[in-house]
Amino acid sequence: MNDFDEPLDLVEFRREQATNALTKRIPPRFAAATADHPAVADWVRRYLADPTNCPPLLLAGPVGAGKTHQCWGAVRAIVEARASNGLGTNWKATTHPDLNAEMRPKPDNSHVWALDRYLNTELLMFDDLGAGKQSEWTGDSLYRLVDHRWCHQLPTVYSTNLTPDQLAESLGDRVVSRLADAVRVTMKGSDRRWEQAA
């Protein structure tokens, strides 16, 4: 009997696949991130119960309050829990400034298709909403992304440093309106990065 004759352990395969993807794609600074905020953990449970009927998650609060940590923790919890049930997860993560950089015109025209990989992924983590400088092109692309995911009920984890009024001023009412049904979590506290450096 050789290795190919052994039956595939789907759960073990998915766990290994999940571990490899998370290790490769989560930045080292957030390698140990966990979804330990009660409201974030509740949203993760809601997603796992029915991802097709799960609203977006919007984490808001000042710089350094731990929003990105919670975002990566939520992604990790979902990917690992689904792997433990023998399921894979098609997920992507980006930031608003990084998406804008991908959308800038390039000689190879890769910017034309940059948005496509984020539109239909099962789970999207979109960090620092409103931190990207808007042009007419990037503003239109952001609206397309938010609207498409909202219309198709594709769960998205957003974070922002902006208040609702600042978001509307920066991104426009059409984008903000499509976040109205999101589970909103307000993160409070001082900048943890400065506290850790002290």
Q: Which amino acid is at 100?
A: N
8 Å CB contact between 80 and 18: yes
Output the domain CATH number for residue 35.
3.40.50.300
Lowest mean pLDDT among 15-24, 172-181, 189-198: 189-198
CB atoms within 10 A of CB 37: 18
Tokens matching residue 102: 């991908």
For residues 152 and 4, which has the higher predicted lDDT (pLDDT)?
Answer: 152
Q: How many domains in the chain? A: 1
- 83-129 pLDDT, tens digit each: 999 999 999 999 999 999 998 888 898 888 899 999 999 999 999 99
Determine what percent of the chain falls in helix, strand and coil, rounding each to the nearest 5: 55, 10, 35
Whole-number pLDDT of residue 103 = 87
Lowest mean pLDDT among 22-31, 36-45, 96-105: 96-105
Q: Which domain holds residue 141?
A: 3-197
Residue for token digits 């789907």?
Answer: 10
For residues 161 and 110, which has the higher predicted lDDT (pLDDT)?
Answer: 161
% of the chain with per-residue pLDDT over 70: 92
8 Å CB contact between 79 and 48: no
8 Å CB contact between 164 and 176: yes
- 127-153 pLDDT, tens digit each: 999 997 888 878 899 999 999 999 999
